[in-house]
Amino acid sequence: MTRPLLSRIAETLYWIGRYIERADDTARILDVSAHRMLDEPETCRSICATLGILQPEPLSATMMIRRLAYDLDEPASIAASVRAARDSARGVREVISSEAWECLNVTWHQLRRLPTVAPHGYLAFVRERAALFFGLADATMSRDDCWRFIVLGRSLERVDMTTRLLAVHLPGDRRLLLQASGADESFTRTHGAHADHALEFLLLDNLFPRSVLYSLLTAEKCLQALTPARVRAGVADPALAAIGRVRTGLQYTDLAQLQDRVPELLVTLQEACASACEAIGERFFQQREELAWVGA
Amino acid sequence: MADIFDAYSLGSESWDEMFERPGIPRPQYQALFAALQPLGVDELRSRADQLARMFTDRGVTFDYAGEERPFPLDLIPRVIDAAEWDLVVRGVRQRIRALEAFLDDVYGPRQVFRDGVMPWQLLHSSPHYHRVAHGWRPPNGVRVHVGGIDLIRDEQGALCVLEDNVRTPSGVSYVLENRLAMARTLPSLFAEQFVRPVEEYPARLLAALRKAAPAGVTDPTVVVLTPGVYNAAYFEHALLARLMGVELVEGRDLICEGNRISMITTYGRRPVHVVYRRIDDDYLDPLHFRGDSVLGCPGLVNAARAGNVTISNGVGNGVADDKLVYTYVPELIGYYLGEEPLLRNVETYRLDNPDMRDWALESAAELVLKPVDGAGGKGIVIGPMATAGQLASVRQAVRDHPRGWIAQRPVMLSTSPTWIGERPVPRHIDLRPFAVNDGDDVWLLPGGLTRVALPEGELVVNSSRGGGSKDTWVLGNTHAPMASVTAPPVAQWSPSRVAAGTEEQ
């Protein structure tokens, strides 16, 4: 039997999953784009757009990396995400495994010393540490609600980041998209050297763990385990319903029309993500509004 | 090879824990001395760095002025032999029993005041006496579930009690982490002799807390209540919750309804029966104490008074670790237990008597002046080391509020070799043994926390004054009883493809 989890802790775990996935995804995007940014100022703008940063004037490539990777005052930066994950983990270290906590703590301490390292080394380090954290969580934590909230956060963040990436780079280079998602080799082994099926692969592949469909299915599994079904018909949990609906819509899309339907699909996905997050917050993380006391 | 202890100079004023005379270790230190000696300076320095890094990585920190700092662990352990430890166990147990009896009396019949053993005035002027606790007897009668009694060794080598902590004594997490770090960094030191293990503590604490549960609750839910990540001892709260396998809650995770306490979980509200709180009384419950506190849980005290939840340590315990009450503890031991104190107090003067006060103010430069409710070394003025300005202001403070101060003979705390930079040098240390009272027995964690003042000559060992700690070894009577359990024989099997292949054929 799984043990009930404090709402505050569930929320923190969910955000640790999101922060680390965000740091990982941002590092991937920056890494594959770094060399392009030098000769294409457009790339900078689209990356900012991907990460939801409003950018009034164009930034140089160096400035851009500095801001998105190292800058602690930029909330979307890698450094800020890692710090947020580590500070959150510090508040829940009694429920995560000490190895997972130590991983985040060491990552943060080392990251603070790294700003002098060239971007490629820095970004590679972030990706490795993110993989290490999720690996340790997988290897050392029971498959209970603690672990599910971390995975839930990671899956939803992955859907969110991948759809943003696709939305911004839709007209652009397909190879870059694949590289940024770590899907390059996996794709080539499946579809050959031709990048035609890249969108299909990133959105709909059944086997690739970073595809949108795969991430949605993972999130659904977590939510199903978190809220055992008690109703005969329909889905009682609004978060599960939102994700399930958009997942089925995506899964049963006619592949022949995929190319045309992508922009519309991406919008739906973003909306579903947002409403799922909101529903999760209401369902699990609900805290009382203020200190309350009901008398005897 | 030069001996690392060659240049170690013994102070003339203090008792040295390790050395009898230069180069001659005391009996309990001989094995350690022999194990440390062959390691050269370079080796020890790299081990010291390794220890420091391990603490940073594991996040063994305390918060000081809003900053997370690792709690420095010294390389050279402190050793206590079995006979002396036995005295500490009996002495601390006796003291805890006397303080429990005193608290039971203070919040009950108050016989100790009626009999004139202690003046009434002391009760009425105590800032930590809480009327709400009057007539409230906790389920199994225990108020001091965890006690920390600070001991020091004086110039003649005798252990004496410096102060009692029966509110929320902290530091036990460092005892557990120190042992872990030492065993990983210098495993060879443990090979020579049997050092009594410390890892039993969380299980003992949990058992004591469960036994303190309200009557009729067969499977109590225990939680650790923390003020949150910004508290100096947050690391400890998290560690204890993790090692006991219970929830670490903040005030906002708890809710009181109908005098019952529950925690808010993803499956709704779950009842809570025992709250091991690491929040001071003042912040525990805004309905009874500070109304502006957002750290506690409104209604918690009423729920506990109604017998639906146990608060540990008890509310109002502060009256017993008031340093003016400390001066009476030897009498209390006689009064309640009919025993002679096994551990004596440091020579202390009460300043409520005008003659005594005048004398103490005159001799302030030769005394230690301490606020009666200061924790963490706050406000202490050590006469021989104080400036004229400090002395003048403490004299004024004592005149303004004599009840708030005591004076003590300065004790040169014993020294222990401590690794600073390149070599061991003498530094002052104290000892805080931890006692867990489950109602039937007072159990002591073997060893406790040895704090060391890292600056030269410093006598205040608190972490807030740049203190560190040492792994504290209590030697066992017998040699290595742990090794008597032999592992069952393991079947021969090697995970190679060849082996698997041949089996299949």
Q: What's the pLDDT tens digit per position in B379-430? A: 888 888 889 999 999 999 999 988 889 999 999 999 999 998 888 999 999 9
- Which H helix or E strand runs over B305? helix B300-305
In a domain, A42, yes or no: yes
Q: Give per-residue pLDDT as tens, B114-158.
A: 999 999 999 988 888 999 999 999 999 999 999 999 999 999 999
What token pair was written down for B358? 């005048």
Non-local (6+) Cβ contacts of A81 within 8 A are: A19, A20, A22, A23, A26
What token pair was written down for B370? 């301490």
Euclidean distance between CA atoms A195 and A187, whole angstroms: 8
CATH of B347-410, one of 3.40.50.300, 3.30.1490.270, 3.60.40.10, 1.20.1250.20: 3.30.1490.270
pLDDT at B202 over 90: yes
In a domain, A23, yes or no: yes
pLDDT at A148 over 70: yes
SS3 B85: helix
Contact A296 B250 (CB under 8 A): no
Contacts of A6 in chain B (CB under 8 A): 247, 249, 253, 263-266
Percent of chain B clearing pLDDT 70 (strictly above): 92
Q: Give per-residue pLDDT as tens, B266-297.
A: 888 899 999 999 999 989 998 888 888 778 89
Euclidean distance between CA atoms A197 and A152, whole angstroms: 28
Contact B241 A94 (CB under 8 A): yes
Residue B309: exposed, middle, or buried by beta-carbon count in 10 A (0-12, 13-18, 19+)? buried
pLDDT bucket at B440, cuts 50 / 70 / 90: very high
Please state the rounded mean pLDDT for residues A162-168: 85
Q: How far is the alpha carbon of A241 from chain B, nearest alpha carbon, in Å?
A: 18
pLDDT at B505 over 70: no
pLDDT bucket at B23, cuts 50 / 70 / 90: confident
Please state the rounded mean pLDDT for residues A198-207: 92
pLDDT of residue B1: 44
Non-local (6+) Cβ contacts of A64 within 8 A are: A37, A44, A47, A48
pLDDT of residue A286: 67
Contact B57 A7 (CB under 8 A): no
Residue A93 touches chain B, beta carbons under 8 Å: yes
Contacts of B258 in chain A (CB under 8 A): 294, 296
Please state the rounded mean pLDDT for residues A28-53: 75
pLDDT of residue A107: 94
In a domain, A291, yes or no: no
pLDDT at B188 over 90: no
Strand pairing report for B274-277 and B310-312? parallel
Contact A284 B266 (CB under 8 A): yes
pLDDT bucket at B339, cuts 50 / 70 / 90: very high
Please state the rounded mean pLDDT for residues B203-212: 96
What token pair was written down for B163? 């102060």
Please report, in angstroms and rounded to a whole number, the separation of the first and last CA atoms in chain A.
33
Please state the rounded mean pLDDT for residues B20-41: 90
Which residue type does B319 have?
Answer: V
Which phi and psi (to 5°) does residue A54 adopt?
A: -80, 130
Residue A104 touches chain B, beta carbons under 8 Å: no
In a domain, A293, yes or no: no
Strand pairing report for B146-153 and B310-312? unpaired
In a domain, A295, yes or no: no
Please state the rounded mean pLDDT for residues B357-364: 91
Please state the rounded mean pLDDT for residues B317-328: 92
Q: How far is CA A75 from each of CA A79, A101, A106, A276, rounded to the nearest angstrom?
A: 9, 22, 21, 22
Residue that is written with structure tokens 């990436």 in the block? A165
Non-local (6+) Cβ contacts of B473 within 8 A are: B32, B77, B78, B79, B80, B195, B196, B447
> Within a 10 A sphere around the Cβ of A236, how many other Cβ atoms?
12
- Which H helix or E strand runs over B360? helix B354-362
In chain B, what are the domain boundaries? 19-345+412-478, 347-410
Q: Report the 3 state secondary structure along A70-134.
A: HCCCCCCCHHHHHHHHHHHHHHCCCCCCHHHHHHHHHHHHHHHHCCCCCHHHHHHHHHHHHHHHH
pLDDT of residue A61: 76
For A89, name the nearest residue in chain B, comparing CA atoms only: B229
In a domain, A296, yes or no: no
pLDDT at B375 over 80: no
> Within a 10 A sphere around the Cβ of A19, how many other Cβ atoms?
26
Do B382 and B390 meet the contact criterion of CB atoms below 8 Å apart?
A: no
Contact A109 B56 (CB under 8 A): yes
pLDDT of residue B6: 84
pLDDT of residue A197: 87
Strand partners, B248: B224
pLDDT bucket at A232, cuts 50 / 70 / 90: confident
* B229 → closest Cβ in A90, A98, A293: A90
Do B58 and A102 meet the contact criterion of CB atoms below 8 Å apart?
A: yes
Q: Give per-residue pLDDT as tens, A88-101.
A: 998 888 889 989 99
Contacts of B238 in chain A (CB under 8 A): 90, 93-94
Nearest to B310 by CA among B139, B426, B441, B459: B139
pLDDT at B485 over 50: no
pLDDT at B260 over 70: yes
What token pair was written down for B423? 């070599």
Percent of chain A clearing pLDDT 90 (strictly above): 43
Please state the rounded mean pLDDT for residues B440-467: 87
pLDDT at B500 over 70: no
Domain of residue A63 covers 7-284
Euclidean distance between CA atoms B474 and B447, whole angstroms: 6
Mean pLDDT of chain B: 88
Percent of chain A clearing pLDDT 70 (strictly above): 92
pLDDT at A1 over 60: no
SS3 content of chain B, % helix, strand, coil (to 5): 35, 25, 40
Mean pLDDT of chain A: 86
SS3 A291: coil
CA B419 remoteness from chain centre: 23
pLDDT at A170 over 50: yes
Euclidean distance between CA atoms A48 and A31, whole angstroms: 14
Contact A94 B266 (CB under 8 A): no
pLDDT at B481 over 50: no
What token pair was written down for B81? 């032999």
For B308, name the nearest residue in chain A, comparing CA atoms only: A296
- B105 Rama sector, left if φ>0, alpha if ψ -120 to 50, beta otherwise: alpha
pLDDT of residue B5: 87
pLDDT of residue B497: 57
pLDDT of residue B12: 77
pLDDT at B482 over 50: no
Which residue type does B392 have?
Answer: A
pLDDT of residue A293: 52
pLDDT of residue B470: 95
Please state the rounded mean pLDDT for residues A76-82: 92
- A278 Rama sector, left if φ>0, alpha if ψ -120 to 50, beta otherwise: alpha
Q: Give per-residue pLDDT as tens, B238-252.
A: 999 999 999 999 998
> Which position has the higher pLDDT, A176 or A139?
A139
Nearest to B273 by CA among B260, B285, B283, B286: B260
What token pair was written down for B247? 């929830």
> Which position has the higher pLDDT, A168 or A109?
A109
Q: How far is the alpha carbon of B47 from chain A, nearest alpha carbon, in Å?
A: 19
Euclidean distance between CA atoms B79 and B190, whole angstroms: 12
For chain A, the domain total comes to 1
> Which position has the higher pLDDT, B405 or B3?
B405
pLDDT of residue B275: 97
Contacts of A10 in chain B (CB under 8 A): 266
Euclidean distance between CA atoms A118 and A285, whole angstroms: 40
Do B298 and A292 meet the contact criterion of CB atoms below 8 Å apart?
A: yes
> Within a 10 A sphere around the Cβ of A16, how many other Cβ atoms?
28
pLDDT of residue B437: 97
Contact A6 B253 (CB under 8 A): yes
Residue A112 touches chain B, beta carbons under 8 Å: no
Strand partners, B254: B263
- Side-chain-side CA neighbours of residue B96 (13 Å): 31
Contacts of A287 in chain B (CB under 8 A): 252, 264
pLDDT bucket at B302, cuts 50 / 70 / 90: very high
Euclidean distance between CA atoms B319 and B128, whole angstroms: 5
Please state the rounded mean pLDDT for residues B203-226: 95
What token pair was written down for B87? 């005295």
Contacts of A95 in chain B (CB under 8 A): 242
Q: Give per-residue pLDDT as tens, A9-21.
A: 999 999 999 999 9
Count of residues making up chain A: 296
